[in-house]
Chains A and B, each alone.
Chain A
Amino acid sequence: MCDACGCGDSNVVPVALSERVLAANDRGARHNREHFHDHGVIAVNLMGGPGAGKTAILEASAQALAALGEAEKVGVLAGDLATDHDAARVRAAGILAESITTGSACHLDAEMVHRGLHRLAWRSLDFLFIENVGNLVCPAVYDLGQDANVVALSVTEGEDKPLKYPTMFQKADLVLLTKTDLLPQLPDIDVARIATNLSHVMPKPAMITMSVRTGEGIDQWIQWLHGLKHLRASMRASIVGPV
């Protein structure tokens, strides 16, 4: 008898399914997305390797938004292995933040985010940032219900990272190239080559060069967020139709 296909064995039935293995997570993500849309909240999934500067971006964003009087319209859920470190840093910078303890998980999933929502007054926000677990592969696989994917990549990580991690960059709406203040110390890193590599993995390549030390790119990033908000508002208006 053939073990592999069960031939000659009349009681083996093939069942065609063609289903996404992560269908349960997809359902959870859809549920989160409905929550966000119902309350006009824009959720941003901030991903990147460990130490890429994700929390630093959120701290700098908190300050920039506070200067515009928009700090109370922004909140953060920070995926953290076991500590409250990142959320505490963001709170110290003046915005609402809670951590999602992930334990040994290498990514956030839709259900973890949903649980996190129960601990954060997110309904009145314009923007909810979700700082994902520091990892350039796994977080990209799980939809959380976000409106946009933003990937932080630091100049110290090397030019080839977009080509090595296409799964993540393919899904990115925006790449924040961080720590550009360090470029003078990194003569081998060519920003133009990073942009070229991005164009080979991102269908609509978009990159902002940024440094929380010099403030480079922060204004552009806040503008990008405001652009996203207006785009979403006009999309919602067109779905509802003219009154």
Chain B
Amino acid sequence: MHEYSIVQALFDRIQDAARERGAVAVRRVKLRIGEIAGVDVDLLQTAYDLFRVRTICEGAWLDVERVSARWTCPDGHGDIARGHALVCPACARPARLAAGDEIVLEQLDLEVP
């Protein structure tokens, strides 16, 4: 499962950020994961728990904010109701994904000496 490669990419980034700031430990890793980002959050947690052993993230809590999918009219006629075709009922334009596909590292809480 690609949750492992996502965690691998996450750790590469965290290690760089921690080194840049001279951090001795990471306390919290805050992510935003969209509903249709293709990430299974439970699997991600499992992968994270496996990876963090004996790393700078050993004591860091993984804090995941889920983001609902939201499709909207590109011309400002508002959001498409869930369970409907992805076209604007007012102008028939194809909807645009406004939120819900993000896999974002939002914040790190770093312990610095």
Report A's interface with B, CB cutoff 8 A: 3-6, 9, 11-25, 105-107, 109, 137-138, 140-142, 166-168, 170, 196, 199-204
Contacts and interface: CB of A to CB of B under 8 A. Distances in A.
A15 B13 CA distance: 13
Residue of B28, B38, B85 with most chain A CB atoms under a 10 A cut-off: B38
B28 A6 contact: yes
List 3 A-B pairs, minimum CB-CB distance, nearest first. Answer: A167-B38, A203-B94, A138-B2
A33 B47 CA distance: 30
B86 A203 contact: yes
A203 B85 CA distance: 8
A138 B1 contact: yes
B57 interface: no
A166 B105 CA distance: 22
B86 A202 contact: yes
Given A166-B36, A167-B101, A200-B85, A106 B1 contact: yes
Query: What is the predominant secondary structure among interface residues of chain B facing chain A?
Result: mixed
Interface of B: 1-2, 5-6, 9-10, 12-13, 17, 21, 27-28, 31, 36-39, 61, 69, 71, 83-87, 94-97, 101-113
Contacts of B69: 166
B104 A11 contact: no
B60 to A, nearest CB: 11
Given A25-B9, A141-B103, A203-B71, A17 B108 contact: yes
B86 A19 contact: no
B110 A201 contact: no
Contacts of B9: 21-25
A109 B5 contact: yes
A168 B101 CA distance: 11
Given A109-B5, A167-B37, A21 B31 contact: yes
Given A140-B38, A141-B37, A199-B85, A11 B113 contact: yes
Nearest to A169: B36
A98 to B, nearest CB: 23
A203 B17 CA distance: 37
B86 A200 contact: yes
A14 B31 contact: no
A15 B86 contact: no
Contacts of A14: 107-110
B106 A16 contact: yes
13 contacts: A4-B28, A17-B105, A18-B105, A20-B104, A21-B6, A21-B13, A109-B5, A138-B1, A167-B101, A170-B97, A200-B85, A203-B87, A203-B97
